[in-house]
C-alpha cells in the first residue's frame, strides 16, 4: 500500500464520517483525537478557535464546553452560524480582530486552539514560512488572552523553522508536545503542538 493511497483512503474515510455525523470538516476528528489523548478542553471552558471556518473545531469545542462554557471562532472567511458559538470575521494579524475577540470574551480564555492554514502555494518552504507566521500570531494571541494554567493547541507545517517555534512555545507553558493525530497522519507535513499549563501571570489584555 503506497503512502499516497493510504492518505487518500484516510481522507475519504473521515470525509464520509464527517458527513454522517454532521461535522463541517474532516478536521473535526483531528481535534477530537487530540482532546481524547491530551484532555485539553473541559465542560465550562472558554475556548477561542482561530481559523475556525467552516466550523468543525468549533462544533467539537461547543459540544464539550456545553451551556456553561463559551466558544468564540474567528476567521477571514465567513462561517455559517453554529448554535452556541460566537463568530468574529477578520484577519488574526489585525489588531481590530483581536480587539473584537477580546471584547466578546470579556475575561481570560481557558483554551486557545488554532488550525489556521495559509493559502497553499505548493512551494514547501514558502508554505512552511507562512504557516510559522500564523503560528507566531496565534502564540501572541494566546499570551494576551490565556489565564495562567491555560492550554494552547496549534497546527504547524513542519520545516526548518519548526524547532525554534517549538522552543518558543516551551518557554511559555509547563508541558509541550508535538503530535500527529491519526486523522491527519500519512497525509501531510502538518503537526499539532499541544501546550498545557500557561506560565504567564499577566492579567488579560483590555483593548
Ligand X SMILES: C[S@@+](CC[C@H](N)C(=O)[O-])C[C@H]1O[C@@H](n2cnc3c(N)ncnc32)[C@H](O)[C@@H]1O
The contact set with ligand X (CB under 6 A) reads 24-25, 27-28, 51-57, 74-77, 91-93, 115-117, 134
155 is catalytic: yes
Cell digits of residue 184: 491527519
At closest approach, how far in Å is the CB of 118 from ligand X? 6
Owner of C-alpha cell 477530537: 32
At closest approach, how far in Å is the CB of 51 from ligand X? 3
At closest approach, how far in Å is the CB of 198 from ligand X? 21
Catalytic residue (one of 30, 155, 170, 182)? 155
At closest approach, how far in Å is the CB of 117 from ligand X? 4
Q: Which is nearer to ligand X, 36 or 91 (CB)?
A: 91
Q: Which is nearer to ligand X, 91 or 103 (CB)?
A: 91
Q: Which is nearer to ligand X, 134 or 174 (CB)?
A: 134
- Radius of gyration of the CA atoms of the chain, in A: 16
Q: How far apart, in Å, are the Cα atoms of 116 and each of 30, 50, 131, 157?
A: 13, 6, 8, 10
Q: Which is nearer to ligand X, 154 or 169 (CB)?
A: 154
Q: Taking Cα atoms as reference points, which of 165, 108, 118, 171 lies closest to residue 141?
A: 108
Q: Give CB contacts under 8 A, 24+ apart, made by 59-68.
A: 59/23, 59/24, 59/28, 59/85, 60/23, 60/28, 60/31, 60/32, 60/35, 61/31, 61/85, 61/111, 61/113, 64/35, 65/41, 68/43, 68/44
Q: Which residues belong to the active site?
A: 155
Amino acid at each position: 500500500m503506497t503512502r499516497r493511497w493510504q492518505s487518500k483512503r484516510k481522507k475519504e474515510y473521515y470525509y464520509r464520517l464527517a458527513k454522517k455525523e454532521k461535522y463541517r470538516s474532516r478536521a473535526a476528528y483531528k481535534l477530537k483525537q487530540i482532546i481524547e489523548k491530551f484532555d485539553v478542553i473541559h465542560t465550562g471552558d472558554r475556548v477561542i478557535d482561530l481559523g475556525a471556518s467552516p466550523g468543525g473545531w468549533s462544533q467539537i469545542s461547543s459540544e464539550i464546553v456545553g451551556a456553561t462554557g463559551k466558544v468564540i471562532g474567528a476567521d477571514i472567511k465567513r462561517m455559517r452560524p453554529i448554535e452556541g458559538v460566537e463568530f468574529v470575521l477578520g484577519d488574526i494579524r489585525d489588531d481590530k480582530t483581536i480587539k473584537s475577540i477580546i471584547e466578546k470574551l470579556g475575561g481570560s480564555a481557558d483554551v486557545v486552539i488554532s488550525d489556521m492554514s495559509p493559502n497553499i502555494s505548493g512551494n514547501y518552504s514558502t508554505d512552511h514560512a507562512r504557516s510559522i507566521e500564523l503560528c507566531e500570531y496565534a502564540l501572541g494571541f494566546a499570551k494576551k488572552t490565556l489565564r495562567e494554567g491555560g492550554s494552547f493547541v496549534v497546527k504547524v507545517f513542519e520545516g526548518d523553522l519548526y524547532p525554534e517555534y517549538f522552543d518558543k512555545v516551551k518557554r511559555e507553558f509547563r508541558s509541550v508536545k508535538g503530535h500527529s493525530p491519526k486523522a491527519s497522519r500519512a497525509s501531510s507535513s502538518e503537526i499539532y503542538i499541544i501546550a498545557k499549563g500557561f506560565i504567564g501571570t499577566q492579567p488579560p489584555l483590555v483593548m
